[in-house]
Structure formats: C-alpha cells, structure tokens
Chain A
Amino acid sequence: MKRKNRILTVLVFLLFVCIAVYELFPLIFLFVGSIKDQTELFTNGMSLTITKETLRLQNYLDLFMYNSGMYVKWFMNSFLLTVIYTVGGLVLSSLVGYGIGGYQFKGKNVVFVLVLIVMMIPLEIIVLPLYKLITNMGIIDTYAGVILPFVVNCTAIFFFRQFVDGLPKEFQEAGRMDGCTELGLFVKIVVPLMKPAFGAMCILLAMYEWNSFMWPLIVMRSNEHFTLTVGIASLINPYTANYTIMLTGSVVAILPILVLFLCNQQFFIAGLTSGGVKG
C-alpha cells in the first residue's frame, strides 16, 4: 500500500511537470525566437536551440526603432488607456457599488438586476450599434471612444456591492453623527475599508484593458492610435513577414505584467478570478 502510494505520488508529480512545461513552452518559445536572427528563423524554423552565431539581442533595439518609433506609440497608447480606464473604472464602479450595497432605496433591486443582466450579455452583440454611436459622437479613433462605453464596469460594480454588503453598517451612522456628508462618508470611511476590493478590481480592470482586442480594433483606425494588441495583430501578414517585430513586440507586451505578477501573485489571482475575465 505504501509502495503504491509512492508510485502514485511520483506519477502525479510527473503529470504536473508535463503540464507546467506545456503552459510555459509557448512563452519560452516566444522569448527564444525574439533574440534570434530572423534569417535563422526562415531557414531552420523555430526551435529552442540558440547559438552564439544566431543570437541577436539587437532585435529589441530594432523594435523600438521600427517605423520611426511606432511600437513605442502603441505601447504608450496601451499604457495610457489602461491607466485612464482603470482609474475611471475604479472610481465610478465603486461609487455605484456602494450606492447599491450601502443604502435602502426605491428601485435598488431593479438596478441590481440590471447590473447582472449587463454582466451576462457579451459586448460582441452590441458592437455594431456601439460603433455607430461612437462614430456619431465624433470619438472614433480616440481614447474616449475606446474607454467611454465600458468604463462603468458591471463586474466591478457587482464585486464592490458584494463587499459593501459584507461591511457592518454602523460606520455610516457614526460618520453621520460626526457631520460627514454622504460623499465624505464614502471617501473617508468606506474607501479605506474597501482597500482589498480596490486591489482586486485594479488588477481585473487593468488586465481587461491591457489585453482587450476587438473593441480597440474597431475604434482605432489610424496606425499611430493602435494599442499593443491591435498593433501586433496588424503585423501579421503572410507577404511581408516582420517576425522579429512580432516576437519582440509580444515579449515586451507580456513582460511588465509577468514581473508585476511574480511580485504580487495573490493580488493577481484574486483580481483575475473575481470576474472570469477574457481579453
């Protein structure tokens, strides 16, 4: 019995090693490809071997020089969009979440059901009328066009609402006795209490925006307004293969997130599993 258990333990361990290799392989592959000479890619294909002759770190310099700094522009677009979207989303969604969770008012349940309905319906269904709306508002090909329709994020509202629901309600009365306005109550008392929720939602919203693809693809029309995902996808072209830019570009898009994750794993796991996010 003991022996059988030990064999099973080894088998399970091997299974996990295989899965870990499988999950890491494409990323390692991407990285190795990104520091290789492009002609090597074409003659010998992609492999994990790398020699002194085929090593070419200059690929990363080329990336930043590409099309007079186009990649840098894409990176900045993604970065700024992510910051604006995350900050805006946190402020608005936490206000709404607190409004629903912290008060008794007429229509409270209706609003909550509407939040749930929006969570259930994927944006892909309304993408055409939204495109029409954004065009008519004159904010096609702008940051506002990308951010505005989704900045009030219902997953975040739901999460904040649940969090407020779990707080003891005495703090509200105590704050009112001290002469707080209702907004002051929120800013001074509720926000500090909701810190863990803000952490998780910060990750959720930031990852959502950083990795989002379809909506920026539709809104951003000119090359210098592309986000990283849209820009990298625009390089995919069977005729003029720009493999090094594609590979290095993908690595640079992943690396910041990976570093942040390794420093703060629990936060990321809590944030990303709170909404079943899909980029």
Chain B
Amino acid sequence: MKTKKRSSFSRLAYSKKLAPYLFILPFVIAFCVFFAYPIMETFSMSFQKVINLNTGRFVGFKNYARLDNAHFFNALKTSTIYTLCMVCIMLIMPITLAVFLNSKMLKLKNFFRSVIFIPALVSTISAGIAFRLIFGDTDIGFVNSIIVKLGGEPIQWKMGYATGIFIMVILASWREMGINMIYCLSALQTISAELYESAEMDGANKFQQFVFITIPQVKPIIIYVLTLTIINGYRMFTEGYVYWNETNPGDNGLTIVRYIYNQAFQKNDMGLGSAIGVVLLLIILVINLIQLKGFGMFDKEDR
C-alpha cells in the first residue's frame, strides 16, 4: 500500500466517484467494438453487395428480395421444426425427471443426477462423432444393423429430411436434457414442504399436489427453460454441421445459421448472409419480447 500522498494519481485511486466508471470500462469498450458496431454493420452490409471484405455497393433491399428463395424457406422451416421438437422434449422430460429425483421414491438419486448431467460436458462435435456412427447410413451402422437384424430395410438417416431432423434433435436433446433437469430440480427444492403437508391434510392426492402446487411453483423456471430452448433452437449450427459438414444434400441440416455460414464463407456473399442475420435478429427479438411481456418481471433473478 502506498502512503496517502495527495498526488493527482492517488486522488484518482481513492475516488469513489470515478472508480465504478473505471471498473465498467472493459464492458463499455467491448460493447462498443464487439457488439454495437457489428450490429450496425450487419444492418449496413445487408443493404450492400459486398464485393470483397471492405468494398461494397449499396443495392437497397435487393438482398432482402433475394431471401424469397426455396433454400431460405427450407432453412427457416428446418430451424422451426427442430425448435418445436426440442421444445416438446424439454417441456416434458426435464421436469418429469426432476420431480422423481426430488421425491422419496427413487434410490441412487445422486448417481442418476450425475449420469444424466454428464452429456452436458461433452462438446457437440465429440458427441456428434458418436451419433454419426450410431446413425450410420450403411447397414453396418449401429441402429441400421439392429433394423436389418429385425428384418427391416436400413435407413439412410442423413439423406431423408425427417430422419435428418430426428438425428439432430436426438443429439441436442441428449446433451441438453441434464442441464435443464438441474434447473427444474433446483426450483423444486425451493418449494417448502409445508405447502404439501397442508395440501395432504386437505385431502389432495399426489397428482393434485403436482398440478396445483408443483406446477405453479416451477412455472418461472419452466418458462426460462423454454425461452433458452427456443433461442438455442434458432441459433443452432453445430448439430447440423457435424452431420453435414460439407454440403447439405436436399437442404438437410440447413438451418438459418448454417445458411448464413454457407452464403458468407462458401458463396462469398456477405450481403445476403447479413440480411439473413437481420431476419434472425428479428426472430430472437420477438421471442424475447413475448417472454418479457407475457411474464412481466420474470428474469434470471427469480431462479
């Protein structure tokens, strides 16, 4: 500690007024350079024909007009179907598992909790390598070999549209189930036992207790899980990439973000890529607004 000489430097170091501004400085810089500027740049580039990285020509709404093509609508459709599937799974499975993990019924709770959580540690790429082989297209792929043994025809998982969505959903839900289960579990653990006791005295059975006590109490966390799932669904990229890393035959695995990636880095069309980015931004904003509006003050503080 230096002595308390009142040089101008030490006055700064002791200034209670100035300190918070210095503390938040890294955020302010990062926000301006790596967030606000790129957001504006996305809008600006979406109105340009980008010739090479730093030269572009303004073309008005041309890029947006070009979004009216089959590939873009396929990407929109794929992302939406994928997100809906994920929402269905994440609405039912995590809370169900958490309820059992929180009850006296189940033995080896800690073991099961850890095991179900483990996939969250694994990168989508590493897990995807395993899933690629499990759902291999040839008849020696793991699932196909079972199908063949049962007398069926091997399925070309990566070639069909529906099977393509299926293998992405199964990979993502495999990874994300545990983490969402823990969210639900931590919410369940905050419900006081008294609520259940008094309900029992009033003659409510287990199912009624679940519907009238548990569900309302965990509603905020379920909304949180759903919002997270929807946003993660629309920003999905890696789950598709790990199956179709080079091309997307029949637009399989072509999600919105993959379409941005393909346009920008394979077709060198940053203008169209940015226009898709703006559309994605609008989708995300609408989802967030619905969440904020529909559920009032709900934010992460309620967890």
Contact = CB atoms under 8 A, between A and B. Distances in A.
B280 A253 contact: no
Contact of A92 (B26, B42, B141): B26
A7 B107 CA distance: 14
A124 to B, nearest CB: 5
A135 B34 contact: no
Interface in B211-258: 224, 228, 231-232, 234-235, 237-238, 241-242, 245-246, 257
Interface in B35-72: 35, 37-39, 41-42, 45, 53-54
Contacts, number: 284
B1 A184 contact: yes
A115 B27 contact: yes
A193 B259 CA distance: 46
Interface string A103-123: 101001001001110101110
B132 A236 contact: yes
A118 B31 contact: yes
B25 to A, nearest CB: 8
Nearest to A22: B174
Contacts of A218: 261, 265
Contacts of B284: 120-122, 125
Interface residues of A, number: 100
Given A26-B127, A46-B134, A128-B260, A105 B20 contact: yes
Given A122-B284, A133-B37, A29 B106 contact: no
Contacts of A258: 118, 121
Contact of A103 (B19, B112, B257): B19
| Residue in B21, B119, B125, B245 with the greatest tally of chain A CB atoms within 10 Å | B125
A131 to B, nearest CB: 7
Given A213-B125, A279-B124, A126 B116 contact: no
- Say what secondary structure dominates the interface of chain A: helix
Contact of B37 (A13, A29, A129, A150): A129
Interface in B12-40: 13-24, 26-31, 33-35, 37-39
Interface string A134-163: 011000000000001111101001100010
Contact of B277 (A103, A114, A126): A126
B40 to A, nearest CB: 8
In this complex, the member of B24, B127, B281, B299 whose beta carbon has the largest number of chain A beta carbons within 10 angstroms is B24
Interface residues of B, number: 104
Nearest to A203: B121
B97 A19 contact: yes
Contacts of B281: 121, 125
Interface stretch (A55-63, A65-73, A268-276): A268-276
Contacts of A125: 39, 42, 277-278, 280-281, 284
A273 B182 contact: yes
Given A272-B120, A279-B123, A128 B277 contact: yes
A189 to B, nearest CB: 13
B122 interface: yes
Contact of A13 (B54, B97, B107, B178): B107
Given A95-B23, A135-B53, A182-B14, 19 more contacts: A12-B100, A42-B140, A45-B140, A46-B134, A47-B145, A95-B26, A103-B23, A124-B257, A127-B261, A128-B277, A150-B34, A181-B13, A229-B123, A232-B125, A232-B126, A250-B129, A268-B117, A268-B121, A269-B117
Interface of A: 8-9, 12-13, 15-16, 19-20, 22-24, 26-27, 29-30, 33, 42-47, 92, 95-96, 98-100, 102-103, 105, 108, 111, 114-116, 118, 120-122, 124-133, 135-136, 148-152, 154, 157-158, 162, 176, 179-184, 186, 207, 210-211, 213-214, 218, 228-229, 232-233, 236-237, 243, 246-247, 250, 253-254, 257-258, 261-262, 265, 268-269, 272-273, 276-279
10 interchain residue pairs of minimum CB distance: A99-B23, A45-B140, A129-B41, A182-B19, A103-B20, A152-B30, A211-B123, A129-B38, A126-B38, A250-B126
